[in-house]
Structure 1
Amino acid sequence: MRKNAGAIPVNNFGSESDGGIAIERISFESLPDLGEWEQPERHDRHSFFLLEKGSVTMEIDFQQYLVNAPSIIYMHPDQVHRILTFENVIVNAWAANNENLNPEYLVLLEDIAPAIPMPLNHQMFVLFTEAISLCIKLAEREKDPLYHSILKDQTNVLTGLIISLYRALRTPSEDTLSRPEVVTKAFKEALGLHFVSCKRPAEYAQKLNLSTAYLNECVKNSTGHSVSYHIQQRVVLEAKRLLHHSKQSLKEIAATLGYDDYAYFSRLFTKVSGVAPVTFRNKNPD
């Protein structure tokens, strides 16, 4: 498969006129081949899929998943994914940008990302099918006076159902977070937003109004790893995405990730991943 000439492509899930919400029911039964569906990409918004029929093999951030119907799939905008195979697929797909999602839901979505595909029992499948069917019908009523508000509310209903589904897998103790766990959660949210510009633990401590020592203590107690470890892991994950899915040079990737010193970036990548950047790229051709 060819690489993209620049950075990882971002799929504009809907259109410029859709108000940041898109929903459709798609059949892959008639497609002769994968074509552009096989290209690695990110989406420009949070995207959700109800696999109603068939099976799909997907690669999400270097991890392969065989997804059989009925299943729910959630994609965070950061995640790079592609379809490897499919068979007799019917899927309901919907997506929304941050502006259209309940702020509380945005926080909870970050908490479950990256999410893995989740199989549905019959009861949940029927519930999602009915909710999506209503949402699709509402999406067709563009001339209604409150069209966007109604569609936004229904999209949040679907999003809330998915979040509830993932959170149902949590143990009771996970719903009552300790102070170190609260701090660690806040740090991970900040890391997702600022990993390109902030590379030092002290920068995150300042953003969270904490001492560096206390932040590191909380994160290490909660995860077993230091703040620096998590920063490096997040940077290297993004580097792997770019090495694998783009034709950017190694120096361009280093610069994209906030490193002017390519030699330092290369040593960091090698230390964290166990292989040099050029070796990783050569071992993982598209």
Structure 2
Amino acid sequence: MGDMLNLGISIDRNNLKKSYFATAQQAEDAAQAHRDEGYTFHILEKGKVLIEIDFKTYNVSAPAVVYLHPDQVHRMLDIDDIIVSSLSINSENLNTEYLKILQELNPIAPFLLEKEAFSVISSSFSLCLNFYAQRNNKLYYPLLRDSCNTLIAYLLSQFLNLAKPDETFSRFEKVTTAFRKLLEKNYINLKRPGQYAALLHISTPYLNDCIKGSTGYSVSYLIQERIILEAKRLLYHTNKSVKEIAFELGYADYPYFSRLFSKVTGISAITFRNKNHD
């Protein structure tokens, strides 16, 4: 996906065949884990793909949408012959309301599209792609930006159709949703359940009751899981040392972070890195 004009928007439709990855080197190159700079939507129009997102594997069949948040580490493990339409857009070009929804919905698992929805999405993408090619158009940038945001709005409507209506959430679920939003913004700086309870203006025991009732896990467990997910991403995607990663995640006490990683995952950070780079 190219972005020759540095607009913060990349869009392309590709036909990828399994034969393109026939050699060991081609397969290895295709399976390199990475992060995208923008908010990325892959619309699988034909075929099947096996993809790993944040260390979870998904077997996706067309027609489907795979959404990737900029934080998420992912890699393609295998494909059949596929046609995929891809759009990546940075936060500056996203409608602020759509950006807010994407941040609140993160993460979103890949999901299948109904026939009617797929038809709308495919034709909308074709229009965006058409505008992307009109580089001499005097309104090139607004045409491209606004058409892409329209497509994203429709994609978001499909995501929201899968979500549970707000009015059907229990009090425990509403507290859990609010906690997860705070956790996503503050996990580097706030690591104690009481700090989140204070921000939510509730007691720590009540917060724990809500989280346990909704997820089956304690507040401390979810805080640690979020921290360790980011640690895994950095171990996998960067060459930073474990000590550097610990510091980046808010741990001045490097040995404590190492013990925490081993406790949560069952293996050391170095073992995790070596295992996933084999």
Q: 1:219 to 1:79 in 2, by over 3 A?
A: same
Match of 2:14 in 1: 26
Spell out the pairing of 1:58-97 with structure 2 (5 A cutoff). Answer: 58-97=51-90
Q: Deviations over 1:15-50 (max 9, x none)?
A: 373322211112223735345432101111110011
Report the Cα offset of residue 247 of structure 1. 3.7
Q: Deviations over 1:68-87 (max 9, x none)?
A: 22211111111110011122
**1:111 lines up with 2:104 in the alignment:** yes
Match of 2:42 in 1: 49
Structure number with the higher helix fraction is 2
Structure 2 unaligned residues grouped into runs of 5+: none
Match of 2:229 in 1: 237
- 2:33 and 2:236 in contact (8 A); partners too: no
SS in 1 for 2:107: coil
Report the Cα offset of residue 170 of structure 1. 3.0
2:249 to 254, 257, 274: 257
Report the Cα offset of residue 95 of structure 1. 1.2
1:200 to 186, 189, 192: 192
- 2:43 and 2:65 in contact (8 A); partners too: yes
- 1:57 and 1:83 in contact (8 A); partners too: yes
In 1, Cα distance between equivalents of 2:83 and 2:133:
20
Between the two proteins, the alignment pairs up a number of residues equal to: 272
SS in 2 for 1:42: coil
Match of 2:146 in 1: 153
Spell out the pairing of 1:267-286 with structure 2 (5 A cutoff). Answer: 267-286=259-278
Q: Deviations over 1:177-230 (max 9, x none)?
A: 455544433332232233223323344456x46355365555455434343322
- 1:61 and 1:81 in contact (8 A); partners too: yes
In 2, Cα distance between equivalents of 1:14 and 1:265:
39
Q: Deviations over 1:210-254 (max 9, x none)?
A: 355365555455434343322111001112223344443322221
**1:228 lines up with 2:220 in the alignment:** yes
Q: Percent identity?
A: 45
Structure 1 unaligned residues grouped into runs of 5+: 1-12
Q: 1:177 to 1:148 in 2, by over 3 A?
A: farther
- 2:72 and 2:233 in contact (8 A); partners too: no
Say which structure, 1 or 2, has more relative contact order (CA 8 Å, 6+ apart): 1
In 2, Cα distance between equivalents of 1:171 and 1:258:
34
- 1:14 and 1:20 in contact (8 A); partners too: no
Cα RMSD, aligned residues only: 2.6
In 2, Cα distance between equivalents of 1:105 and 1:23:
18
- 2:10 and 2:89 in contact (8 A); partners too: yes
Q: 1:44 to 1:59 in 2, by over 3 A?
A: same
